[in-house]
Amino acid sequence: MAMTVAGCRERATGLVQFAWMAGLATVIGCQPVAAAPQTAVERAAARAIVNERAAAVVVVLATIKVRLNVSGREQTSDQTAQTNATILDPSGLAVMSLQQIQPDEAMTRAYSRQVPGGGRVEVTTDVADMRMHLADGRELPAKLVLRDEDLDLAFVRPTEPLSAPLPFVDAPSARPQLLDALTLVRRTGEPTAWAPAAAFATVELVIDKPRTYYQVVILGGGGPGCPLFDAAGRFIGVLVMRDTGTRGTGALGVLPADDIRDVAKQAPPK
């Protein structure tokens, strides 16, 4: 076998990030896309949405314990995860992309491509030390309470009692149409002081089957876990990794808000 277990281990650093990126976007941002400039009225409306909704967008931090098995030989390593999540109710129940904290399949595919000769590669991950970094700077211990692998959804919740309800996305849901303009809201990491940030997005494709997703072109940064809103401030949905059904590949797509809230009903009470 051309690549040893030690060689695979040397590649471990950064491969979690590779799996999260999936060739599309990272939590911190994606490459800008050329688009027509927005009007002053549109920019003002988008800023109002950010001011109203940004407190409901948090950063989830976690340690990912990675177990790499190459043809029966196992190595382990710890990686760090940092991703956006959207709070859905005052108890702090938040939704994010499952692949950001459980990238087993994506990492298995990434490693397998690097092991010639048909060597068997299996990657499994466990989540530890999960925290939610809130808009006010607090970090609350959290845990994973519900997952949906088919929809790439993970729901997390604070584990400690709250002194007050948390800000959440209480906006009514909406279903955009082709070419509608949307506002994406996200929160940055520690290097930029966990600041709220935003980007414009345009609906370029509405996928109806086997379920509804919105494919968007983003002017600026964005990634899995970020919520999007229409021009009236209504909640559109959250960016997740959509299974394209083509040899296990995935692509970013916006899962509608109503679908997310339907799944969230299955989360156990606090």
Q: Predicted confidence band at 11 (pLDDT cuts at 50, 70, 90)?
A: very low
- Residue ranges in the chain assigned as alpha helix (H): 5-10, 15-21, 40-53, 104-112, 257-264
Predicted confidence at residue 66, as pLDDT, reads: 84
Residue 73 sits at φ, ψ, to 5 deg, of -105, 130
Show the tokens assigned to 48. 């109002």
The CATH class, in words, for 5-264 is mainly beta
Whether 205 shows a pLDDT value over 50: the answer reads yes
Domain locations in the chain as residue ranges: 5-264
- Specify burial of residue 143 (Cβ count, 10 A radius: 0-12, 13-18, 19+): exposed
Show the tokens assigned to 157. 């919740």
Predicted confidence at residue 126, as pLDDT, reads: 83
Whether 21 shows a pLDDT value over 90: the answer reads no
pTM of the model: 0.81
